């Protein structure tokens, strides 16, 4: 089959012919229809320090996908040939305390398709049936391919009660934009999203009913005053992974505010913990999606009117993957979706 492979320990990806996966009794074989390019895939393309110490070479990468089941392992029940599906890309263990308690997203033995195990940038993907998420008719292949990052946004946004709250999102990448849209859909009063990239802020305004703020040009305190928020934001969603954005968020929060952290700063960051203590802030680290509660929540919201399709800015055949990665690497896009059909 055709696949995009990290076949050498250097920058780039290569289109190659690799063996079609052979499934086991508890697996399914999925014919891939669409895939999304993730920031993680860009790290692997760039072959940065994280990728070099994490990703085995050679490896088929990619973990955002939709497709249809073409083969079932003989012990698989509840799924059928021809069924349209997406799936959870975190492959969990079964022996940890967290896993045995049903908190699968916290399992320390987790391995990722396209990062540690063969991934979805290919014509076919082998996936444990446990990880398969059937797609309803309301969720087409294109949206099915970005459920993984939408799940990150939903998990982060729904970390705290949002009804009637004022929400600050720092980082207008695709996941930040989708998190802002989720916050509005979930009943937040004011949603402000910050960045220094004017193109992505403009995209945020097109995707969701939010207030985009370029913090290189506008003081966040003036936005707080203009919206009549006397004390600051109730909930913060930090999606940028930058120290400056986190510091701005801490200063903009109300006493007792709550912050969910999805962005990952490079290396170690200097944090003024006294500000966090004296403001009695709650900080929650967010990793991936809750398996499978987040999947149920986001599919229900898509069926109930959540519309984030405009976050997809590039649609390309899989053969033009290099153009898709170029757009991702220079930040001139939202989500990039590759067509494998």
User: 3-class DSSP state for residue 69?
Assistant: strand
Is there a catalytic annotation at residue 43? Answer: yes
Can you read off the two tokens belonging to residue 34? Answer: 């669409």
Instruction: Note if the bond before 156 is cis, omega within 30 degrees.
Output: no
Is there a catalytic annotation at residue 313? Answer: no
Residue 20 to residue 178: CA distance in whole angstroms: 34
Can you read off the two tokens belonging to residue 147? Answer: 């459920």
Distance of CA 88 to the CA centre of its chain: 11
Which of 33, 35, 40, 105 does the annotation list as catalytic? Answer: 40
269-274: long-range contacts, CB 8 A cutoff, minimum separation 24: 269/243, 270/243, 271/246, 272/247
**CA nearest to 215, candidates 251, 264, 179:** 251
User: 3-class DSSP state for residue 214?
Assistant: strand
Residue positions annotated with a catalytic role: 40, 43
């Amino acid at each position: 089959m055709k696949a995009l492979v990290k076949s050498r320990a250097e920058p780039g990806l290569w289109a190659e012919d690799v063996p079609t996966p052979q499934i086991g009794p508890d697996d399914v074989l999925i014919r891939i229809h669409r895939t999304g390019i993730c920031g993680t895939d860009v790290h692997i393309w760039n072959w940065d320090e994280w990728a070099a110490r994490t990703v085995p070479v050679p490896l088929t990468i990619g973990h955002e996908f939709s497709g249809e089941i073409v083969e079932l392992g003989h012990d698989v029940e509840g799924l059928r040939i021809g069924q349209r599906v997406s799936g959870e890309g975190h492959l969990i263990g079964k022996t940890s305390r967290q896993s045995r308690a049903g908190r699968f997203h916290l399992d320390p033995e987790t391995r990722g398709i396209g990062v540690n195990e063969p991934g979805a940038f290919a014509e076919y993907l082998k996936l444990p049936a446990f990880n398969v998420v059937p797609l309803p008719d309301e969720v087409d292949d294109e949206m099915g391919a970005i459920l993984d990052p939408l799940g990150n946004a939903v998990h982060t946004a729904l970390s705290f009660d949002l009804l009637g709250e004022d929400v600050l999102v720092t980082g207008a990448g695709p996941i930040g934009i989708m998190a802002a849209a989720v916050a509005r859909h979930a009943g937040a009063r004011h949603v402000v999203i910050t960045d220094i990239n004017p193109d992505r802020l403009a995209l945020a305004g097109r995707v969701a009913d939010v207030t985009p703020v370029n913090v290189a040009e506008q003081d966040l305190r003036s936005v707080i005053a203009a919206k009549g928020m006397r004390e600051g934001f109730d909930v913060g969603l930090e999606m940028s992974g930058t120290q400056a954005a986190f510091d701005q968020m801490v200063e903009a929060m109300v006493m007792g505010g709550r912050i969910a952290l999805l962005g990952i700063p490079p290396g170690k960051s200097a944090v003024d913990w006294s500000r966090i203590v004296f403001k009695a802030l709650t900080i929650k680290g967010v990793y991936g999606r809750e398996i499978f509660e987040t999947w149920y929540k986001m599919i229900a919201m898509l069926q109930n009117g959540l519309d984030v399709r405009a976050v997809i800015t590039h649609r390309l055949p899989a053969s033009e993957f290099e153009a898709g990665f170029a757009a991702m690497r220079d930040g001139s896009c939202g989500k990039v979706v590759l067509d494998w059909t």
